[in-house]
Amino acid sequence: MSQEPSNQTLYDELTAYLDGELDAEAVRRVEERLARDADYRQELHKLERAWDLLDGLPRATVDDEFTKSTLEMVALSASQEAEAVAQELPRRRRRQRIVGIVSMVAALLVGFVVGTQIWPDPNRDMLMDLPVLEDLDLFYQADNIEFLRLLEEEDLFPAEGPDES
């Protein structure tokens, strides 16, 4: 049984069977064939034995020096990280301060706009009535507003201009 492309599926199946990666139906199919096909059984046996030989490969055991030097490398990395953060700090603080000031100014502007909408300026009405207020004494001397309107329409008292005399 050589490794022809047509055999690839067969080996995929045997390998997955050995690794416990087949579903129940595929396991049943493989076991049925194993029961009746001696060549198939032999291939499975060879694959399994070759795989088991890997158990004899040496496993590494590192010494204390490895552990120590690795931890030193990590500690160095940690201190470099902390240093970078410390260097970044004044720049970050400055950025934070600018952002804080800008935010405060924006908040004040928004507050002002909203405030003027909610609470109108009490002096605004007085400013609108200013021309009347300025001549309030004169208006008190006339008894009614209709009489004043008539005077204005007659143009008896044109606006004061420069003294012509």
Partner 1 sequence: MAVSESSAQQYQLQDPDVRLMLQVRDDNAAAFDELMLRYQNRLVTVLEHLVGRRDQAEDLAQEVFLRVYRARKRYVPGAKFSTWLYTIANHVAANALRSRSRRHEVNVTGKVSESGASSFLDKMAVAASGAMPARQLDKAELRGIVREALEGLNERQRMAVLLNKFEGLSYADIAEAMEMTPQAIKSLLSRARVNLKEILEPYLEDGTRPQ
Applying CB under 8 A, the residues found at the interface with partner 1 are 3, 8, 11-12, 14-16, 18-19, 21, 46-47, 49-51, 53-62, 66-67, 69-71, 73-74, 77-78, 81
Rounded to a whole number of angstroms, the CA Rg of the chain reads 50
CA nearest neighbour of 29 among 42, 39, 14, 44: 14
DSSP state of 135: T
Please give the structure tokens belonging to residue 150: 């008539």
* Cβ–Cβ < 8 Å for 14, 31: no
CA angle in degrees (0–180, nearest 5) for 108-110-112: 65
- In whole angstroms, the minimum distance from the beta carbon of 31 to partner 1 comes to 18
Q: Which is nearer to partner 1, 54 or 127 (CB)?
A: 54
- In whole angstroms, the minimum distance from the beta carbon of 16 to partner 1 comes to 6
Q: How far apart are CA 85 and CA 83, in angstroms?
A: 5
Q: Which is nearer to partner 1, 80 or 103 (CB)?
A: 80
- In whole angstroms, the minimum distance from the beta carbon of 56 to partner 1 comes to 5
Q: Which is nearer to partner 1, 36 or 59 (CB)?
A: 59
- In whole angstroms, the minimum distance from the beta carbon of 96 to partner 1 comes to 21
- In whole angstroms, the minimum distance from the beta carbon of 99 to partner 1 comes to 23
Q: How far apart are CA 125 and CA 133, in angstroms?
A: 11
Q: How far is CA 69 from the centre of its chain?
A: 38
Q: How far is CA 13 from the centre of its chain?
A: 47
Q: Which is nearer to partner 1, 20 or 90 (CB)?
A: 20
Q: Which is nearer to partner 1, 89 or 109 (CB)?
A: 89
